[in-house]
Structure 1
Amino acid sequence: MNTPDLELRGERPYSSPARYEANFAITSELLLTTKAASPRPFAMRATRLRLIWTWRGGEWELIWMFFGHRFRKTTNDWSPHEQGLMTSREADLPEWVLPLIDANAPTMTPTAGGEG
């Protein structure tokens, strides 16, 4: 799969020394489907990718998720209202996301100190 066109959206307003987010708008068409063994398979037109790192057990842990619009089989079209969400439970991580993870992953240990 080729890398879709992306636009960095920056961090979300929520901030914590133990949490870091990188958000991307997907500006070209990207179609995702659930894993073959999914109990509730669906297709989604992805519009956003969120990478979230949280500090747990002395290391950064990654959570990733795609957001978009679900495909409605009953009307054979993309729902403007039914939002789709895919995480590691529903889909495999596309290979093109790996360089984004490497480039955006936090490298420092979080601190909660302030100026003295």
Structure 2
Amino acid sequence: MPEIRLYTHGYRPSARHEVDFDITSEVILESKPGVARPFTMLATRLHLSWSWHTSGWRAGEWHLFWGFHGHRYRKTTSDWSPHEQGFMSSGDIDLPDWVQPLIEANAPTAPPVVAFEPEGAES
């Protein structure tokens, strides 16, 4: 089951639905042309996160954020650095086609529901 976190205050969304996928085959991602700091990355995890907003222009809807985590390519030694972590999202690369079915299969389909018992209520 995906991890679900609920937030109740501050600038954070009121609910978040997150799913992480470990990437077990070799997936090499390169920055799209024109980004400020281009690099190549060996992807090891795909993170999908939907946020539910209660105010602002996104109020009443889920908003998707996606990103890849992995290892940056160390060009001086021609290998993948285990120490130089990489992160890529929509500012760095376009969404690969193979990710869309994962988004559709895991996207929340209804507004969040939270049930709680007020303090002092009898069970």
- Shorter chain as denominator, the TM-score bin is 0.7 to 0.9
Deviations 1:14-49 (A, max 9, x none): 611710011100000000001111111100000000
Query: Which structure 1 residue ranges, 4+ long, deviate > 3 Å from structure 2?
Result: none
- What's 2:2 paired with? 11
Q: How many residues align?
A: 106
1:28 aligns with one of 17, 25, 29: 25
| Structure with greater Cα Rg | 2
Shift of 1:114: 2.3
For structure 1, the residue ranges without an aligned partner over 5 or more in a row are: 1-9
Percent identity between the two aligned chains? 56
2:50 is equivalent to residue 48 of structure 1: no
Q: Secondary structure at the match of 1:83?
A: strand
Taking only aligned residues, the RMSD between alpha carbons, in angstroms, comes to: 1.6
Quote the offset at 1:71 in angstroms.
Answer: 0.2
Task: Identify the structure with bigger relative contact order (alpha carbons < 8 Å, sequence gap 6+).
Answer: 1
Shift of residue 82, structure 1, vs aligned partner: 0.5
Q: Secondary structure at the match of 1:15?
A: strand
14-23 vs 99-108, which moves further: 14-23
Gaps of at least 5 residues in structure 2 are 7-13, 54-58, 119-123
1:84 maps to which residue?
86
**Could you tell me how far apart the structure 1 residues matched to 2:2 and 2:110 are?**
17
Match of 2:70 in 1: 68
Q: d(CA) in 1 for partners of 2:110 and 2:70?
A: 32
